[in-house]
Structure 1
Amino acid sequence: MAGSILITGANGTLAIPAVEYLLKNYPDHTALLTVRDLSDADPNTNKLREVISRYPGARAFTYQLDLTSLSDTHQFANTLSKYIQTNQIPPLKSILCNACYWDLVADSELTEDGYDKTFQINHISHVALVLKLLDRFASDGGRIVLFSSEAHSPGRAILEKIPPAIPDDIDLLIKPAVYADKAAGGFHRYGNSKLVITSWTHAFNRYLEKDPGLQNITAVAYNPGGLVDSRIFDKNTSLTLSLLMRYIIQPLLPLMRYANPQMRLGAESAVDAIELALDHIYPGERGYFELLQKDESSPESRDEVKQERLWVKSAEWANITKENTALRADFK
């Protein structure tokens, strides 16, 4: 049987069609699907269950995972590791770090770990999850897909008012400044998280390539495009933005594409994400991808000095040490 595909935020706009595409086209793989709320009260989790039920012969398992809690994230990684070690599920072929969060209507909210919620969900907890599971990949390796965005690059995102930047005081990423304009501050936190993800991915690849036991694992920072039907526009955003996306942008998407080819639907990016995760697109390649094209990320994300600072701090924030990851790297 082929390897396992781990997808976080598996009941999201991109993830649900991605799961369906995986189960329909690659039923020999095992889908490991995490959601924040596994109860029947969550309508999006129920949609995910409906998709899974259409493929009774496929192997798909759902798990509850709260990425706002490092304790929960580490515990989940440990449990999954044991399942793989004891052959209850196949070794990993890919991890898609799809779960995402923003808040454009309030100031930064700190998690139980004391980190900005946007930054922890989008980056820190995924760092913990990925680094703890590296030794559970199949012997022939695999690919890790970390989700970037055009928001990581200054001047590209329409909602940007404050350009994303890696601050000199790097702890401002986990405890951000407060802005009078809540939408500007919220999108700044989101853009910064995507910048850090992209920058960290470059450093991650360098360490993977240096490690004889892990060099056949590749990492990509994937910009799936601006998903106009994303559920992210229905929560923690202004009513104006939500209505604009639903009743103007979505219906006019065919015309909008001419002005901005990045605008697309979640189901379109879902197919690309799975093909990328299975290493069918640019097999063995690493780095940054715009949709399915290998590209250069922003200049700041390619600054190796900043990449190394983020590498060290991300491990510290995520409680990763030489003792709980298989990667041979600098953890200070």
Structure 2
Amino acid sequence: MAGSVVLTGANSSLGLHAVEHIFTKYPQHTAILTVRDASDDDVNTKRLREIISQHPNVKASIHQLDLFSLAAVHDFSDTIIQSIMGGKYPPLISIICNAFYWNLFGDPELTADGYDKTMQVNYISQVALVLRLLGGFADVGRIILISSDAHWPGKNPMEKYPPSIPDDLELLVKPAIDDDKYGRGYQRYATSKLALTTWTHALNRYLQKDESLNKLTAIAMNPGNMVDSRALRSNTPQSMHRMQTFVYKPLLFLLRFTYPTLRTAAPAGADVIEVAVSPAYSGEKGFFTLLKNDQSSPESNDEAKQTSLWAQTLVWANINKNNTALQAGVV
């Protein structure tokens, strides 16, 4: 059945290939694409429009969504739900939370909401979006939250300090300043992916308890480490730019013997769409590495941490029983 797919970060390296794949293989679906800057002043948004223009029969729209602002997330969610109810868009079949932020050369930055930028964009705002849009699904559907091998301590060679969920959860949104900008910046990114993965397990548990939503499932997906991603040149030291140019991209074939999930953005984007909408993955949930169901880190599977993080995230994201269709686990 045709439906709507919401994709955040649609003009990212992975996002552009995901859009191309859904237009090519699943053109019956309506693509609701979000970007931080919807103007053509953003060269990546301009490229997104070019991809849409190459597929004149697809149903697609681009929406500006600033994930640094929870008010913007809630306003966007209201607009999409109203558009679905009014018949402008068909009911949702998938939400793909792909938007991303990191800062590997500066101190922690706070949004206007008072949260660390990395944690808000990669986690809190995506959670708010998912919970606000649950009422837009007709019956069955999948929620894909882009994770990373970075969420598991010791699995990514870029790691200097392991990610963890502290007992004092406020440290997630107000991290301390440290002289090691790169090391702590990457730790904030990895921890945001750990939080997202941990929360995904809790979401699945609460969805199963909700009679009206128990045919929805959520997957935290590691799409692989993309050697051609623009992320390696965004808020990163020059050494990473050089590594991408002279090591990662030209030596990908050799590097994959040691790091088999290294790849380019094109297959990563295609795989995300397959997991999101292909009938082959109907009912799947949990954690995926590429196209395979996999185990996430031990900490992400700690049910006590899932429960405490879930409850606190509802507060951070301004979610309550009045603004989400999910009633299980929400106060």
What's 2:175 paired with? 176
The RMSD of aligned alpha carbons is 0.9
Residue by residue over 1:202-237, the C-alpha shift from the partner in whole angstroms, topping out at 9 and shown as x without a partner, is: 000000011110011110000011111111111100
Written as runs of structure 1 = structure 2, the 5 A alignment for 1:1-332 is: 2-139=2-139, 141-332=140-331
Compute the displacement of 1:283 (Å): 2.1
Report the Cα offset of residue 174 of structure 1.
0.2
Q: What letter matches 1:189 in structure 2? A: R
Percent of residue pairs identical: 53
Distance (whole Å) between structure 2 residues aligned to residue 48 and residue 15 of structure 1: 9
Task: Name whichever of 289-298 and 279-288 sits farther off.
Answer: 279-288
Secondary structure of the 1:138 match is: strand
1:242: how far off? 1.1
> Unmatched 5+ residue regions in structure 1?
none
Contact 1:66 1:72 in 2 (8 A): yes
> CA-to-partner distance for each residue in 1:255-284, whole Å, 9 max, x for gaps?
111111110011111111001000434320
Secondary structure at 2:279 match in 1: coil
Contact 1:6 1:95 in 2 (8 A): yes
Runs of 4+ that moved beyond 3 A = 279-282
Q: Whole-Å Cα distance in 2 between the matches of residues 85 and 31 of structure 1?
A: 17
CA distance in 1 between partners of 2:178 and 2:150 (Å): 18
What SS class does the counterpart of residue 106 from structure 1 fall into?
coil
Structure 1 distance, partners of 2:231, 2:279, is 28
Tell me, what secondary structure is at the counterpart of 2:163? coil
Alignment-mate amino acid for residue 168 of structure 1: D
Output one character per residue of 1:306-329: Cα deviation in whole Å (capped at 9) or x when no partner: 000110011110000011001012
The residue identity in structure 2 corresponding to 1:8 is T
* Amino acid paired to 1:105: F
Please state whether the residue corresponding to 2:93 is helix, strand or coil. Answer: strand
User: Residue 281 of structure 1 contacts residue 292 of structure 1 at CA under 8 Å; is this kept in 2?
Assistant: no
Cα 1:160–1:281 shift into 2, 3 Å: farther
Letter aligned with residue 285 of structure 2? R
Counterpart code for 1:5: V
**Contact 1:203 / 1:307 at 8 angstroms: preserved in 2?**
yes
Structure 2: distance between partners of 1:239 and 1:71: 34
Distance 1:21 1:279 in 2: 12
Q: Distance in 1 between matches of 2:282 and 2:40?
A: 39
Secondary structure of 2:296's partner?
Answer: coil
**Counterpart residue identity of residue 108, structure 1:** P
SS in 1 for 2:38: coil
Distance in 2 between the 1:46 and 1:172 partners? 38
Q: Deviations over 1:133-158 (max 9, x none)?
A: 1011123x100000110000000111
Provide, for residues 10-57 of structure 1, a one-character-per-residue CA deviation record: whole Å limited to 9, x for no partner.
Answer: 000001011011011111100000000011110000110110000001
**TM-score, with structure 1 as normaliser:** 0.98
SS in 2 for 1:14: helix
TM-score by length of 2: 0.98
